[in-house]
Every structure is written in C-alpha cells, then in structure tokens.
Chain A
Amino acid sequence: MNDAVIQLEDLALRYRLARNRVTSLKEFMIHMLSGSLEYSELWALDGIDLEVQRSEALGIIGRNGAGKSTLLKVISGVLKPTRGKRVVRGRISPILELGTGFDYELTGHENIFLNGLLRGHTRKSIEAKVDGIIEFSGLEEFIHSPVRNYSTGMMARLGFAVATAWVPEVLVLDEVLSVGDARFLKRCHERLDSFRAAGTTALIVSHSPLEILNHCSRVIWVEGGKIVADGEPRDVVGQYALFAGDTATAALVASDLTADSGIAGSPAQPTSAGKAPKATDSPTPDPPTQRQTTDA
C-alpha cells in the first residue's frame, strides 16, 4: 500500500506551440480542408516519476523553462497531464503567484473573500478566518481601501496571508517567498515551519539556493522536462550550482559538506562527499536538445 501524499507516474505534458497554432475557426476550416493541420509540439514535462511523502519539503530547482512551473501546475490541478498518472491525497493549496484573482476595484477586505472563495473555501469558513488574515498581513489600516492603491509588497502580503490561512495537506509555492520586507518574510518562514510541524507536505520552486537549503528536506533538479537529480538538498543544489556556473553557491555547499561530514572534499566535486544522488552520474546533462521535441 502506497501512502505517498503525491504520486506521479510517467507524467508528461505537451504544449502546442503558438507559432503554428490555428487560432481562428476560419483558419481551422481551411487547414482541415487542405489537410495541412500541423502542430509544433513541446514536451514541457517528459516522463516524471515522483513520490513525495507526508511532511516532506521538496525543493525544485532548474533553469528557466526547465518545466518547474509546469510541474507545479500539473500537481496543483491547473493543467491536466497529456500522459501519466497524478495522485494527490488531501487538500492542496497552490500559491503559483501571490494575489491571484485580486480584483483591483475591490477593497482588501472584499478581496480576502474573493480569493478565499476561488481557493474553494466557503463564505462561512472565510468569515471565521478573516480577522486572522488581516492581522497576519499587517494591513489593518488599508483593508477597506481598493487594492489598486496597494503597493506590490502589500498585495503580496495579503495574498500570502489568504493563501496560508488554512493548513493544507500539500502546499505549493512557486517563487513567491522573494517579496515583502525582512520582517514579513520572517513571519512567512515561521508559518511554513508551523505547517510542516503539522504534517503539511511542501513543494517549493525557488532560484535562491539559501531558501532551498533552509527549508527543504529533499531537492529535485528538473531539466528539459525530466528529473535529472533527486536527493539531499546540499548534494543536488551543489551539482546544479556547478552546472549553472554558480561558483559561490558551489563553494558554499562544498564547504558546508566538509564541515559536517568531516571529509575534506574539493569544492569542485561536491558529490564525492555525502550520499550520491540517485538519478544522475553526470553533473552536466545536455538539456537543450531534450527540450526540442518537435512533431509534424
């Protein structure tokens, strides 16, 4: 019996590229009649196998366009996979962007309700939480002004406060912990920690190695729609830093490893210390060629 909270088997997702896409009924008819319906395809995800257990915090790293956000969208249920199996056990709370669905004409208070409802909560449940949300966002003074007068930081704070007012089984964060001032960021991190203590599974996409190292118990590296490394945060972050030419991070991770394990590893070979990552032997896979899956 598998009790993983998230279970993905051979998951794949295909985008049809806009370049050749038929956007009007007229064009569609013309192409249908002339038999020249052609699509240029991109496999944004290509054979993802992943299991995440309860209260794990999984970091997802990789370059822009590697498929990280698409993976989160499929897990969140925003996109349906083209192929493969997706199982998520329990309530999932996706934060793919802070303040999704805010209506700029409505007040902060009205937006708390709108946003909570869009997240599938009932009016009653939001009413019970609304004071806590306002308190957490620290926007008491402005809560009855229209959101269009808010600064980006204020909107992000309100967005995070609404999205995390309920403790979910699975929390999905896409690059959202980089906004807000230091004090608010600290409160966000405290809230994440309390979620994990309560058994929430977290998926975190971030380009900040420190954030990944601080929060994650496991990290996967996604490249060309595939998982190319999966293992201990420091191993995978170190490998990726080497691949991406981020020598500062590579050195930092390597020195940490040396300090912890007592093995004198050279900074250039971080994987030689600690456990070897599961999925890859080579720290430099050749991703660009994998991404260009084009079919006629």
Chain B
Amino acid sequence: MRSVYQYRDLIWNLVMRDLKVRYRRSAIGFLWSMLQPLLTMVVLAIVFSSIFRFDILNYPVYALAGLLFWNFFQQSIVVSMNSLRTHAYILQKLPVPMAVFPIATVLSGLVHLLLAMVPMAAILIYTDHRIGTSLFFLPVSIFVVALFTLGMGLLLAPLAVFFNDVVELVTVILTLLFYMTPIIYPKDIVPDRFQAFVHYNPTRSILEIFRDPIYFAKIPPLTHLSLSLSVALIAFVIGAFAFRRSVDRIPFYL
C-alpha cells in the first residue's frame, strides 16, 4: 500500500489519460457523461410510468439516482477486470505496483459519477423534487460506494487474468444482480418469497446509502450507515487481501 502511495502521480495521470482518450473521438465530449444516464432515465420513465406503472412518486429521480450508482459500480468492475490485461505490456517490463490500475479505474469512474451529478441536480430542480440538506451527506455515500466497488474490482481483476472466462461470467452475474437490486423498481413490489434476496443483497444496502439522501431527502439512519460501511470495508479488505496474494503470479498469466 505504501508503494501505491508513491505512485499517486501515476494514478492521477492514468485517470486524466482515460478521460482524454474517452472523449477525444467523441463529438460532444464530456457532455456524453451526463447525457448517457439521462437518456436511459427518459427511456425508463416512459416505460415504467406509462406502461407498467410503478406506484412511486417522481419516478425519474428514483431511477436516475439508482442508475448513476449502478453505472459507476458496473463499469468500474468490468474495466477493473480488464485493466491488468490491458496493461500487460507494461507489467511485463516495469515493476509497477499492479493495484494502481484498478484504483485508477475506480477513480476515473468517480469523475464520471461527479459529472453526472450535474444533470441529476437539473432533474431535481426541474421536477420540483424535495431538496434537503441531506445532499451534504453525499460525499460519505460516495466514499462507501467507491470503497465497495474498489474491493470488488481488486478481487476480480486477478481472477480475470488467471481465467479468461471470468469476464463473461461476471457480466452475467452483474445482469442478475441488476434485477435483484431495486434500481428501476420500488423495493415493495417484490413478492414476499423473493424479499429475502433483495433484502440481504449487500448491493441494495450500498445503493440506498447513495439514493436515500437524493430521493428521500433524508440522511440514512446510523444503523444503516454502519451496516453498509461494514459491508464496504469487508469487500475492500477481502479484495485487497486477494489481490496481494495473487500479485506475484499475475505476470506469468498475462
């Protein structure tokens, strides 16, 4: 971990490069970061407020807040998994601490998340949603979300190097997880026999830490906060430990 800190300038450089490369070839550049979740939200809003009809107040805000979390979580994990393979040509020639790549991935995902908060704010104002001081709690939420995501990324990145079908497998599991988490539907529409799956899904707890301050304009109760912080910490510790254990073997499989 100390050596990762020594390479902090490299991490920042990788984040900036990712942003530059991602937007260099796109006509609307940074706007894309904000537009993409917004468009998904519009589609969902049309489908679920006029066709399927969830009984939920101001569905666009509910869905957008959930999607911002999910996009960050899902993209960070998928890119983290590929990050070691993508940089194989470096890892075979220079002794760079490998954790810098998943870390840079999660940080650059965070930059996108922060950019996407701009349209989120616009929707809050446009739909006349209740805005509370709870928004000041969001940095804590984002920290918990990022810690959880980084833990998962660190756990899965070496696995994706050792076995080349892990990426496909995880992609399928993520799709399943997406529907097991109340992101585009309200929690209480889930039939009783499936409630446990949703309730004991750690991703739900992490999601609500992020969404509650936005949608319900309330700061999560201390019990919920400490629970999700523990979940995030456990994910991070497991991820960091697994990563450390695998690091020596990674160059042989790249």
Contact = CB atoms under 8 A, between A and B. Distances in A.
Given A23-B163, A114-B17, A100 B9 contact: no
Contact of B94 (A15, A80, A100, A113): A100
B24 A105 contact: yes
Interface in A134-165: none
Contacts of A23: 163-164
Contacts of B127: none
A142 to B, nearest CB: 20
B90 interface: yes
Interface stretch (A115-123, A183-191, A260-268, A281-289): A115-123
Q: What range describes how many residues of A lie at the interface?
A: 20 to 34
A25 B172 CA distance: 14
Contacts of A113: 13
Given A118-B96, A120-B6, A101 B164 contact: no
Contacts of B164: 23-24
Contact of B93 (A92, A101, A117): A101
A80 B248 contact: yes
B251 A79 contact: yes
A79 B24 contact: no
B165 A25 contact: yes
Interface centre among B10, B21, B24, B87, by most chain A C-beta atoms within 10 angstroms, is B10
Interface residues of B, number: 26
Given A105-B21, A105-B24, A119 B94 contact: yes
A78 B94 contact: yes
Contact of A122 (B9, B21, B92): B9
A76 B13 contact: no
23 contacts: A16-B252, A23-B163, A25-B159, A25-B165, A26-B165, A28-B163, A73-B92, A76-B95, A78-B91, A78-B93, A78-B94, A94-B95, A100-B89, A100-B93, A100-B94, A101-B90, A101-B94, A118-B10, A120-B7, A120-B96, A122-B9, A123-B9, A123-B13
Interface of B: 6-7, 9-10, 13, 17, 21, 24, 87, 89-96, 159, 163-166, 169, 248, 251-252
Kindly list the 9 A-B residue pairs having the minimum CB-CB distance in the complex, ordered from nearest.
Answer: A77-B95, A117-B10, A25-B163, A80-B248, A100-B93, A24-B165, A123-B9, A101-B90, A96-B93
